[in-house]
Amino acid sequence: MKKYDIKTINLNTKILIYNFDECNKSTKKLIEKAQDIALNSYAPYSNFHVGSAVLLANGKIVTGSNQENAAFPAGICAERTAMAYANSKYPDIPAKAIATVAYQNNEITEEICSPCGVCRQFLLEVESKFNHPLKVIMCSKNNIYEAATVKDLLPLCFDKSNLD
């Protein structure tokens, strides 16, 4: 009988959970910017309006919203819109944090708005590019979830080190 050497690894992710009143001034401002820009999203198909705000190391805040398209998947998520704009406008400035908020039926969603897989990979690339942790702040009506780094949302990630 053949003996197998099967192993198990445990992956741990640390997520802080708090409410808006417990945020520091900088995080509140970032979330408010994400809320404001969500109202500019183009979401006629899903009615899921998402806004993201990116805090750069120089203190600037750059925003973006989701932009849907009848030819799925030609639309783009708020996280990638905001981060692509940040990288285009400030190519040498690291991003420190990104906050994302979603609205449905004109109200902030009950569940947090978590980046999709494509956005997680995109954000990971930014984190890797600058070799600097990117805090991910995901908001709902009552709670805020905060990951200290994109890698907390993408365990066993694929990055440039896999290509070396």
Q: How many CB atoms lie within 10 A of CB 84?
A: 16
Better-predicted residue by pLDDT, 91 or 163: 91
pLDDT for 2 equals 80
Side chain identity at residue 108, one-letter code: I
The predicted-structure confidence for 79-107, as pLDDT tens digits, reads as follows 999 999 999 999 999 999 999 999 999 99
Q: How would you class 50 by CB atoms within 10 Å of its CB: exposed for 0-12, middle for 13-18, buried for 19 or more? A: buried
The predicted-structure confidence for 118-161, as pLDDT tens digits, reads as follows 999 999 999 999 999 999 999 999 999 999 999 999 988 888 88
Active-site residue list? 79
Q: How many CB atoms lie within 10 A of CB 81?
A: 24
CA dist 146 → 24, 79, 140 (Å): 13, 15, 12
Instruction: Copy the structure tokens of residue 40.
Output: 């500019």
CATH code, residues 23-163 = 3.40.140.10
| Residue 42, phi then psi, degrees to nearest 5 | -115, 100
Q: Give the mean model confidence (pLDDT) for residues 19-37.
A: 97
- Contact predicate 124/159, CB 8 Å: yes
Type and span of the H or E element at 127? helix 117-130
The predicted-structure confidence for 34-56, as pLDDT tens digits, reads as follows 999 999 999 999 999 999 999 99
| In the predicted structure, residue 109 carries a pLDDT above the cut 80 | yes
pLDDT for 51 equals 98
pLDDT for 161 equals 83
pLDDT for 160 equals 83
| In the predicted structure, residue 162 carries a pLDDT above the cut 90 | no
